[in-house]
Structure 1
């Protein structure tokens, strides 16, 4: 259980004296040559080695590869329909298509839907169904973050629906708003800096807000900041690589395999993003709950 101040209890924090992971590692170290055994033992006794060990064990505990694929698939079937709904209701598909680097032939299909009055085709019932179905992503993420922090998943109540919907809308709008907010700043010197500052700030806000909202405040916001900062720092590298690779991969997939190829390419991209999101959240949890100086500073002890 959690403490009243929103800090995960000591059951989830490292205690080298009783840590079962360290016990298993020590058993493995006992089979290594004496020199290597001493060096690895010295490293693992330090804060960095201890956190690295806990992070690796935590990634195995939450089954990060399986959860990343689940989140990626849920994102594909939840957020993209919401974006299409927003595009059709707004009768403007260009910004949405640009945000996800949509290839030309797929873009033409979307433009045909918008031009033919796709918003009316959705209707009120259809729009509600799309939004309700999209909350499956929020529930999948809630399970993942509950596993990361070792806290009970908030009970499923109608009063919690706003949290699920808010998370979906934040994800959907972030794909468009970050680009829209960065474009006016792109003309200010240095030209490459300000759009990245906007992206970094947004990534921090999103990576902190989503677990806070889905866990209903069970974990304090300051405890979530290490993971949010790590995610934003990682995306500084991942986002430019994605912008260089994704358009080419989408065009090649569309030419070779049509729409199914585009879908699989998007899923690959989403899997990488989900893996980065969950991994940095887990590492952030390790940092925030570590008994060392850094962990105590994060917790405000």
Structure 2
């Protein structure tokens, strides 16, 4: 029977099962490679990737993001100039027409304080989905949904929605500084790191020390340096084709596909960052600032192929 990668120790069992089928001389070489830092990171990242069901969670987050952040964007647009807001988001013409139609409908229904509160309350489903995802990644008990935690959910929603505008605005304001091509990239890189650290730290009630989240945040920011320009080129063309063929519904599905890519990158880099931060090697110890793996349990640091024990003691002391 194949080893279950999602079970504790599943990565080690699966690796050993594969190694037993190799010739003895190749087993020694593979064992040496997997005992090294790159091998440990690769195996444990794959195991965590399977354990949290990254593909399914990415689709869930993409759908939640679409149904939660889009109403917030429309809410912001009703309070200001829709054209300026669309320009700040760098929306293509196909998307701007959809937003304008939604804003006109929202204005007709008197988007007031009560409406804004309803939108924010419904949007917190994204925060709860992100909380479940990060709790699974870090093997933490899922925080209980309490009224006292509502501000955390709302804060994350507002930060994610505003980041869409802030990243663009900051990049444009810094583009006047020489060299003009560098500073916008630096600004986007720094804001990506800040948001990626803030979101899990707030949602998990501070159970994770911010320094443990830095590796995943930096990797995500690096990935976005390549993903953001590529998606801008693809998204413009895809939105044009979808709008011509299917109208508004095509635009919606195109954005949903784009959000799935972003969610997949977000979760994958978070898994990789968690593996690096909890690794028993020197880098993991330096990230944790101790010689023993606090983030993976003080009593037993996981070995090269182990998935780690139950809950990680990650609360800041």
Q: TM-score, normalised by structure 1?
A: 0.89
Partner of 1:252: 241
Separation (CA, whole Å) in 2 of partners of 1:255 and 1:75: 25
Which residues in structure 2 correspond to 1:109-188 (within 5 Å)? 109-111=98-100, 114=103, 118=107, 121-188=110-177
Contact 2:72 2:119 in 1 (8 A): yes
Distance 2:17 2:74 in 1: 54
* CA distance 1:126–1:117, shift in 2 (3 Å): closer
SS at match of 1:121: coil
Deviation at 1:119, TM superposition (A): 7.7
SS in 1 for 2:112: helix
- Whether 1:82 aligns to 2:58 is no
1:25 matched to 2:15? The reply is yes
Aligned runs of 1:1-301 on 2, under 5 Å?
Answer: 19-90=9-80, 92-111=81-100, 114=103, 118=107, 121-301=110-290
Give 1:46 deviation, angstroms.
0.7
Write the deviation string for residues 193-245 of structure 1: whole angstroms up to 9, x where unpaired.
11111100000000000000000011111111111111111111111111111
Q: Counterpart of 2:313?
A: none
Residues 89 and 294 of structure 1, relative CA distance in 2, 3 Å threshold = same
Secondary structure of the corresponding residue to residue 216 of structure 1? coil
* Change over 3 Å in CA distance of 1:113–1:259 after alignment to 2: closer
- Give the Cα separation in 2 of the matches to 1:66 and 1:112: 32
Judge conservation of contact 2:94–2:251 (CA < 8 Å) in 1: no
| CA distance in 1: counterparts of 2:105 and 2:12, whole angstroms | 62
SS of alignment partner, residue 31 of structure 1: coil
1:100 deviates by: 4.6
Q: Tell whether the 8 Å contact from 2:167 to 2:188 is kept in structure 1 after alignment.
A: yes
Unmatched runs of 5 consecutive residues or more in structure 2:
1-7, 291-317
1:15 counterpart residue number: none
The Cα shift of 1:101 comes to 4.5
| Comparing 40-49 and 268-277, the one that deviates more | 40-49
**TM-score, with length taken from structure 2:** 0.85
Hey, what's the Cα distance between the residues in 1 that align with 2:219 and 2:142?
A: 24
Deviations 1:148-176 (A, max 9, x none): 00011111111100100010111100011
Q: Is the 8 A contact 1:101 1:247 kept in 2?
A: no
Gaps of 5+ in 1: 1-17
